[in-house]
Amino acid sequence: MAVNAPNPPSSKIGADMALLLYRLGKFSYRHRWLVISAWLAVLVGVAGSAAAFHGTLSNNFQIPGTETQQMADKLKKELPSSSGGSASIVFEANDARFSQAGKDAVSAVLAKLKTLPDVQGTVDPFTTQAQLDKAAADVAAGQQQAADAKAQLDQSASELAAGKARLAAAEQQMAAAGLPAAAIEAQLGQQKAAAAAGQAKLDAGTRELAAGNEKLELGKRQLDASQGLRFVSEDGKAAIAQVQFKTSINGLTPDIRREVQDLVKEVSAANVTALPSKEISEDISELFGTAEIIGIAVAALVLILMLGTFIAAGLPLLMAIVGVAAGVGGTIALSSAVDMSSISPMLALMLGLAVGIDYSLFIVNRHRGQLLAGMDAEESVALATGTSGNAVLFAGLTVIIALAALVVPGLPFLAVMGLSAAATVAVAVAVALTLTPAVLSLVGRKLISRRAWARAQEHNADPSHGYQDSAKEEYRSTHGWGGLVTNHPWLALLAGVVLLGVMALPAGQLRLALPDASSQPVASQAFQAYDVTRRSFGEGMTGPIIVVGDLPEGLSEAEAKARQFDVADILRGTENVTAAVPLALSQDRRTAVFQVIPKEGPASASTVRVVSELRAEKPRIQDSTGVSIGLTGQTAGNVDVSTKLGDALPPYLAIVVGLSLLLLLLVFRSMWVPLLATGGFLLSLAASFGAVVAVYQWGWLGPVFGVENPGAVLSFLPIILIGVLFGLAMDYQVFITSGMRESYMHGETARHAVRTGFSHAAAVVTAAAIIMVSVFSGFIFSHLNMVRPLGFAMAFGVLIDAFVVRMTIVPAVMYLLGGKAWWLPGWLERILPDVDVEGARLRQPAPVSSEQRGVTSRL
């Protein structure tokens, strides 16, 4: 089947783009080795850059300008010894209690840790607990000594008073007897000197007792502040040590983490188990695991079933791998220059694989169909790039814009995530539009199985098959899923909306937090350390809150300590606080550090309230003590991040919805289609949130999805899901609705066009959605616990958006609207550019022969 080279009107933006892509496809086909070599050079360059310039990935979600960051900066400047990140190591005796050998082994390991270049210091649990226990005994002994001293002073004061009375009486008697003053002084001078010496001694003793009482009172207040804080469990079976690092926890390299873990394992020789906390044991260095590979294998199986050959199925996979290698490799290469969380390359990897497969699939599938119809291979590749490639370009742009818009909330780590994922999607689009045509030119007819090619040859040789195909196509459009939906549009619409509405109900209980060790797998070291800490010392020890106090100038050491205890008393009086302990005081006595132990873990709702209530105590503390306070540390920082992300959700959603309406108005030149597409997106988004809450917050189907400890939802999941799901939903909207518009513009009735367009797009959209769901589902069981809910949310979101919204609700509403679906005010139609996203103007019919005209006229 011959197809003339296109000559579309240059005044049309969409036609110009379609023509440009048509020429790009033809260029890539003709200069295949140049294009392939260029991409190989890119991959080599990116691989070399990643190897040479990669930095340390972290889970640093701090936000510049927040109180948490300001207090951390203050500590770094004024109290460096308390400014680094801290982590805990739990030691558990395998016997009933720690033996002396076990205690010595723990102390020896902590002494070795202290010698590491990156360690600021360690807190030996046995030494510290002994000091706490001794402090109680010392206070009791001090109180007894003070009582004894006071009794002695009282007795001395009584004896001195009696002596002074006797001396005064004798002096009065002598004076009454008429003795001169000199004689009286001569006789009583020695007794008066003794009385004066006794008074001086009594005054000194009183002052010493007052000083001792003041010191004793500070010791008693220190003991009161430490109530509820233990470093060795009461049963003597567990001990918790603190390790202070010179840098932040997020700045620790995998090598340092492994070195610490290897060192503490030495206690096993003394029959002790060492369990480093999540901050030390968390491994974020690997990006790919077994589960992700399984997801890709399922996608490959779908491709084989759809395209029929291993070569055809392998081509989209190969394109996706190239795109991910270039995109994620570039992201890793920048990790030394940009503070990057482990989620950034993982998000780029997830999206790069999913869209990379889908985008190449759209072009390969179009080319395969055109080859089977008898089109010349070169023309087919060029036309597929100009038509499906045009839709791919637009679909990719929607994803890129939605991801790039993650910079709008002003959260640096979120901006890095969005931009790295957007860049990877952009690379996937570039690969699909250039490398795919080049590789297709090498593959040739191997894209199609011999059996399918033979059937196509036989089919094309018989002109009557064209009429049979039309009849089959008409039958298929009125039957199958598209026919069922359009035959019962009200039922389909109601069922879809009710289903999504029910799924969305749990979303009202959404609670956001950054994950702590309680959400880790039960078998992980991080969870075991958390569990032992929770059972032996209270859950709050897993996430202490750091309070930084700014004291007035000119205080003595005793006055500064007294102010510290005054502040600690107020902090300890806050609801759901177990202990509030003064930890450190700067040399100039201007900066104090407190550790507040909440009753529950760092991600719990009560601890979030504690952070809020501690901040609410600032005016009271300032007024009563003259000390201004601020919160910092991992727990307070996580609460800040979750709050900021929650506040950023509404404006970001407004941006995405506005963008959706504008883009779809531009593409489909309709008022109703953008509203329908955006409303469907909001429905699928709400249902996705509901499913995430049900599974990851409530624990429904937890064993199926590996959710052993349900808790708060990952705080940046909603905002990322909005961006990603919006882009992918618009992909499917374009591929489903553009076929309907094309049929309508070619003269079909509006309702018939809905059926025809759906029939043309349904198979490829179904395959693309299954592939994307398969890839995302692989990440549900990722070795990185933080990635799992992201993988679930994206897989579930794509699943319901593709099959419930785009393939059920959209055709049902479009069928009900009929011709009104394409209504656009005249003034708006005149000013809007014609985007022609499907490149319809490229598909010009070949000249019709006189014989064909005769056949047509007879029909």
Residue 485: is its pLDDT beyond 70? yes
Non-local CB neighbours of 340 within 8 Å, separated by 6+ positions: 55, 57, 58, 331, 334, 413, 416, 420
Q: Which residue did the predictor score with more confidence, 10 or 354? A: 354
Q: Write down the pTM of the prediction.
A: 0.81
Q: What is the mean pLDDT of residues 262-274?
A: 91
3-state secondary structure of 692: helix
Other beta carbons within 10 angstroms of residue 310's beta carbon come to 13
Burial of 520 (0-12, 13-18, 19+ CB in 10 A): buried
Tell the CATH topology of 85-284+525-536.
Helix Hairpins (1.10.287)
Bridge partner list, 122: 243
Q: Which of 151-165, 312-326, 624-638, 803-817 has the lowest mean pLDDT?
A: 151-165
Cα–Cα dist 689/761, whole Å = 28
Cα–Cα dist 776/354, whole Å = 7
Q: Rounded mean pLDDT of the chain?
A: 83
CA distances 423 to 2, 3, 297, 330, 390, Å, are: 38, 36, 25, 9, 19
Q: Which residue did the predictor score with more confidence, 795 or 280? A: 795
Residue 501: is its pLDDT beyond 90? yes
Within 13 Å and on the Cβ side, how many CA atoms surround 663?
26
Q: pLDDT tens digits, residue range 382-419?
A: 999 988 888 888 888 888 888 888 888 778 888 888 89
Residue 811: is its pLDDT beyond 90? yes
Report the b/e string of 591-619 with b at 16+ CB within 10 A: bbbbbbbbbbbbbbeebbbbbeebeebee
Contact present, 630 and 71 (Cβ < 8 Å): yes
pLDDT tier for residue 59 given thresholds of 50, 70 and 90? low
Whole-number pLDDT of residue 318: 92
CATH of domain 479-509+639-824: 1.20.1640.10
Q: Of 783, 716, 341, nearest to 523 (Cα)?
A: 783
Burial of 838 (0-12, 13-18, 19+ CB in 10 A): buried
The Cα angle at residue 250 between residues 417 and 537, in degrees rounded to 5: 125
Q: CATH 1.10.287 in the chain, residues? A: 85-284+525-536
Q: CATH 1.20.1640.10 in the chain, residues? A: 479-509+639-824
Q: What single-letter amino acid sits at 142?
A: G
Alpha-carbon torsion, ordered 368, 370, 372, 378, to 10 deg? -80
Q: What single-letter amino acid sits at 699?
A: G
Q: Which of 290-294, 384-388, 573-577, 688-692 has the lowest mean pLDDT?
A: 290-294
Whole-number pLDDT of residue 459: 63
Q: CATH 3.30.70.1430 in the chain, residues? A: 63-83+544-600+602-632
Within 13 Å and on the Cβ side, how many CA atoms surround 771?
31
Residue 855: is its pLDDT beyond 60? no
Q: What is the mean pLDDT of residues 589-597?
A: 91
Residue 559: is its pLDDT beyond 70? yes
Q: Which residue did the predictor score with more confidence, 852 or 339? A: 339
Residue 270: is its pLDDT beyond 80? yes
Q: Under CATH, to which class is 63-83+544-600+602-632 assigned? A: alpha beta
Whole-number pLDDT of residue 470: 55
Non-local CB neighbours of 680 within 8 Å, separated by 6+ positions: 729, 733, 801, 805, 806, 809, 810
Cα–Cα dist 118/127, whole Å = 23
Whole-number pLDDT of residue 724: 85
Q: pLDDT tens digits, residue range 285-321?
A: 555 567 777 877 888 888 888 777 888 888 999 999 9
Burial of 149 (0-12, 13-18, 19+ CB in 10 A): middle
Whole-number pLDDT of residue 689: 96
Whole-number pLDDT of residue 652: 86
The Cα angle at residue 402 between residues 399 and 404, in degrees rounded to 5: 105
Q: Which residue has the tokens 């490829």?
A: 764
pLDDT tier for residue 325 given thresholds of 50, 70 and 90? very high
Could you give the percent of the chain with pLDDT greater than 70?
90
Whole-number pLDDT of residue 852: 33
Q: H-helix or E-strand containing 122?
A: strand 119-123
Q: Which of 8-22, 91-105, 597-611, 773-787 has the lowest mean pLDDT?
A: 8-22
Bridge partner list, 275: 90
The Cα angle at residue 460 between residues 459 and 466, in degrees rounded to 5: 80
Contact present, 651 and 408 (Cβ < 8 Å): yes
pLDDT tier for residue 233 given thresholds of 50, 70 and 90? very high
Whole-number pLDDT of residue 27: 95
Other beta carbons within 10 angstroms of residue 148's beta carbon come to 10
Alpha carbon 786 to its chain centroid, in Å, reads: 7
Residue 76: is its pLDDT beyond 90? no
Q: What is the mean pLDDT of residues 329-358?
A: 84
Residue 502: is its pLDDT beyond 90? yes
Residue 638: is its pLDDT beyond 90? no
Residue 699: is its pLDDT beyond 80? yes
The string of DSSP codes covering 63-101 is -TTSHHHHHHHHHHHH-GGGTS-EEEEEEEESSSS--HH
Q: What is the mean pLDDT of residues 658-669?
A: 80
Residue 433: is its pLDDT beyond 90? yes
Cα–Cα dist 834/741, whole Å = 13
Whole-number pLDDT of residue 837: 63
Q: How many residues does the chain have?
A: 859
Alpha carbon 624 to its chain centroid, in Å, reads: 40
pLDDT tier for residue 799 given thresholds of 50, 70 and 90? very high
Interhelix angle 310-333/290-307, nearest 10 degrees:
140
Q: Of 243, 326, 256, 278, nearest to 56 (Cα)?
A: 256
Q: pLDDT tens digits, residue range 416-428?
A: 888 999 999 999 9
Q: What is the mean pLDDT of residues 188-211?
A: 80
Sign of the C-alpha dihedral computed for residues 37, 40, 46 and 47 taken in this order: negative
